Amino acid sequence: MHSILDVVGGFLLFLICIKRIRLWIYIRSYFENLANSWSCYRIGRLRIINSSIYVFVSASIGGLIIFSLIGDISGVLLINLSSLFMAAVWGQYIERSSGLSRPFGYFGFIIGGIMGSLIVSWFYSISLVRILSAYALASPWIQGVGRFRCIIHGCCHGRSTNKFIGILITNSQSRVCSLSKLKNEYIHITQGYSILSNLIIGMLLWRLWYSTISLYVIISLYFILIGQSRFIEERFRGEIQTKVYCKLKMYQWLSILFVLVGIFLSMISFDNDTIHMNFLCKYEYLIPSILFGFIATFALAIDFPESKKRFSRLCD
């Protein structure tokens, strides 16, 4: 039997299919305007970039979801800070040749999150499976909203393509123009591709979680699906600083590793106590979520443009 929601979903999909050209033109126009919208507000030497709103929303909502799933404020904050720190370390190691003073990297977030999860699981006596599955459920939404920040900054951008598919970026502050020298060239909206894939993955994982499927499956599917989507996304990305090994980009090799990790996790037998976890949103989770939102915003969207010190600038 099919529910009414199935029928509504099928009708919406039908509309998307028959209106796909008009819909794509609207999406393309929106992302092009957003990609050229870089601006800032100055408070003395401090520069607040307009992408800060997306960073704050992404980190705050993601934090609230994780707090509600795990239920331990200090433990989650420790993991979040570990993720942010390792993202900065990863960015410095991988992107240091690009001239960027304060780059961040997605895979660094994951490494830092796993390290922090291991520490919190050991010292706080919280199941590691519970922690990792909570982050697997929240990460697609965090990354999906966070990609709007990437569009404004011009990071994670696409390679050259035709006029119908691509967007044209002319804002000199975008990394597309300042770093990759793709000004006035139509490029793939790879950040938009990432938003779409994360939306689909996020909805699928939450639907499975609602069906009380094993948390091991949630974790393994996250690695498999994110690895597959990132592998394809890298095919259309055009960042000149990304290294290539054996005809595959470095991030494609890491994506393959993600898929293998997910396959390995899916083969682990699970106990009945790892079947499900509750979602309990409390008012006391709101303040630490907002706090981490401000911390993430300061790291990812606020800088000191006149300074020459390391980690001082997000862009020129």
**Predicted local confidence at residue 271, as pLDDT:** 62
**Predicted local confidence at residue 147, as pLDDT:** 95
**Predicted local confidence at residue 96, as pLDDT:** 62
Q: Write the secondary structure of the chain as one string of H (helix), E (strand) and C (coil).
A: CCCHHHHHHHHHHHHHHHCHHHHHHHHHHHHHHHHCCCCEEEECCEEEECCHHHHHHHHHHHHHHHHHHHCCHHHHHHHHHHHHHHHHHHHHHHHHHHCCCCCCCHHHHHHHHHHHHHHHHHHHCCCHHHHHHHHHHHHHHHHHHHHHHHHHHCCCCECECCCCCCEECCCCCCHHHHCCCCCCCEECCHHHHHHHHHHHHHHHHHHHHHCCCCHHHHHHHHHHHHHHHHHHHHHHECCCCCCEECCEEHHHHHHHHHHHHHHHHHCCCCCHHHCCCCCCCCHHHHHHHHHHHHHHHHHHHEECCCCCCCCCCCCC
Question: Which positions ≥6 away from 280 have C-beta within 8 Å?
Answer: 68, 71
**Predicted local confidence at residue 94, as pLDDT:** 73
Return per-residue pLDDT of the chain as tens, 316 residues.
567 878 888 899 999 999 999 999 999 999 999 999 999 999 988 999 999 999 999 999 999 999 999 989 999 999 999 999 999 888 877 766 555 667 788 899 999 999 999 999 999 999 899 999 999 999 999 999 999 999 999 989 999 999 999 999 999 888 898 777 888 899 999 999 999 999 999 999 999 998 888 888 999 999 999 999 999 999 999 988 888 899 999 999 999 999 999 999 988 876 655 556 788 888 899 999 999 999 999 999 998 888 877 777 887 6
| Single pTM value for the model | 0.91
Which two structure tokens, joined as six digits, stand for 166? Answer: 């691509």
CA distance 286 to 41: 27
Token match 């028959």: residue?
18
**Predicted local confidence at residue 139, as pLDDT:** 96
How far, in whole angstroms, is CA 312 from its chain's centroid? 23
Domain ranges of the chain: 49-303
